[in-house]
Amino acid sequence: MNDFSYRLITWQKQYGRHALPWQNTTDPYAIWVSEIMLQQTQVSSVIGYYQRFMARFPTIAALANTTEDEVLQHWSGLGYYSRARNLHHAAQTIMDNHDGQFPQKFETIQTLPGIGRSTAAAIVSFAFNQTQTILDGNVKRVLARHFAIAGWPSHPKIEKQLWALAETLLPQADIVAYTQGLMDLGATLCTRSKPQCPLCPLQSSCEAYQQNLVPTLPTPKPRKTIPEKHITMLIFMQGNEILLEKRPPSGVWGGLWSFPETEATNNFATSSGEKYGMQVAVTQALPSLIHTFTHFKLHIHPQPLHVTKQMPQCHDSTRRWIHIDDAMGVAIPTPVRKILQSLSHAQASNKHA
């Protein structure tokens, strides 16, 4: 066993994380769900979602046999919703093509929707004790620092170099502790900011530490100007009910329920009548919100509209009237949840005024 993996495994067994909800199991389904949730999301944010998700969908069959809308409902607020859609689709694929059994072959697992090389490696390591290497964001940071590899880690050339390096470091035994150790080290000690180098088991051989390069490695992603977009969310209200509209299956917030949107900033009464078949009274706009996606920044301007008359044509299968409090329980994006909370608090304050 090479020195890198030996020290990492020894450290993980003593100081690593051992009590996370998805640990201490070899159930590939449980491990798979956790790995998908942990993509681009911190452990602290995932734990509650994971526990609720597994309570509702304890098996592959349970997940496959539900609706996408319910899957998204249990994912609401976690973000990156394509992960939930892929998880649901993959569960159905496993039921249809693999007799309901999670496949054990590394290559086969990668054919499932939403599962790439690193996620497949984590699953086979933890569930089937197979020797495969992972390379997520935390691992890229550990390797870039330890071996002083300059360049943005997700650039194809640098990433290829890191994959090749990671392959050479694999131990011949204790793959579970090694894989978990890589994750733990990057998440708890070799963090993006304020790394705890004095506690690191790899400090003595870390080239970035020896060369005082820890603050500058890994090389940040080249900065680009983030595009900004403005939309107005139309909050149609009738008493305690609001109108939600189901978004298209792909794209931003795909498949979730949200407020109808427009790029217009005025003339809401006329446009509402033409498109939604309603006569409305325009009230004061709510404070704007900013929601940042990976590739752009969205400025949201919530505009309440009190419905005074509703035409028959406003009934549509992609739209639903729902009580404000009940709306909090459906699959909605985070900004919509914030707006609903604001509306609910306002109504509660008015009752007590």
Question: Amino acid letter at 84?
Answer: A
What are the distances in angstroms from CA 182 to CA 16, 29, 50, 166, 201?
Answer: 10, 21, 21, 11, 11
> Are residues 144 and 153 in contact, defined by beta-carbon separation less than 8 angstroms?
yes
The total of other beta-carbon atoms located within 10 Å of residue 103's CB is 20
> Are residues 36 and 63 in contact, defined by beta-carbon separation less than 8 angstroms?
no
Residues counted in the chain: 353
Q: Which two tokens stand for residue 153?
A: 């880690």
| Cα torsion angle, 218, 220, 221, 227, sign | positive
* Closest-CA residue to 20 (of 187, 143, 173): 187
User: Cα–Cα distance between 236 and 309 in angstroms, integer?
Assistant: 11
Q: Which two tokens stand for residue 89?
A: 């689709």
Q: Which of 35, 159, 167, 207 is catalytic?
A: 35
Q: Which two tokens stand for residue 128?
A: 């089937």
Active site residue 263: no
Q: State the burial class of residue 353 (Cβ atoms within 10 Å of its Cβ: 0-12, 13-18, 19+).
A: exposed
Phi, psi of 68 (to 5 degrees): -60, -35
State the greatest distance between any 2 C-alpha atoms of the chain, in Å, as a whole number: 75
Q: Could you report how far apart the first and last alpha carbons of the chain are, in Å?
A: 71
Residues annotated as catalytic (active site), given as ranges: 35
